[in-house]
Chains A and B, each alone.
Chain A
């Protein structure tokens, strides 16, 4: 019973490049959440998706960031033209319809370093 999977675990990008972060939810889960953790801080909510729909993107920066959760395949968080301030750990969480969204299970995270 695999948990939430994220890849890559570590990603290094130069300023101006694009970063693509992938998240496969737990089996049976159809809700996905992305959070960002800056160094020495707690996690901050970015976006909540269900299959093919963005439900809540109130925590997403207005520019350069986008997220999708297609009918088939993993959820993708895309950061265009990365800057040093994007360096952080990005965590994905998932929940099932039955749990509502109060039991969110987290993946191991992708640590993005922008050089």
Chain B
């Protein structure tokens, strides 16, 4: 089946690392994504990882994939106030046209 689960809220202190977690059910997923949505805005593609990779790093962002447990995480190092947003985990398998989204994790930053 198709399902992507994520926790709804995360609060971190400015300067700390944020870790947003996600689980998916479709073992045939080929691409796994993290999108960022700021209030009233569209979705910004932050990063994606192919299912044959374990890790991908891009500046402050680190994506970890545990394919056995169908678990994906996004770590944001040195979290800043500009990182406040909703973060969507998503999956897609290669033969499909659609991307399947989780419900999003709202990240808030404490001073």
Contact = CB atoms under 8 A, between A and B. Distances in A.
Interface of B is mostly: strand
16 contacts: A4-B42, A35-B101, A42-B90, A42-B101, A44-B101, A45-B100, A48-B97, A48-B98, A56-B97, A100-B94, A101-B97, A102-B92, A102-B94, A104-B45, A105-B45, A106-B42
Nearest to A91: B42
Contacts, number: 55
Given A42-B104, A102-B92, A102-B94, A108 B41 contact: yes
A103 interface: yes
B98 A56 contact: yes
Interface in A16-52: 33, 35, 40-45, 48
Contacts of B99: 33, 43, 45, 104
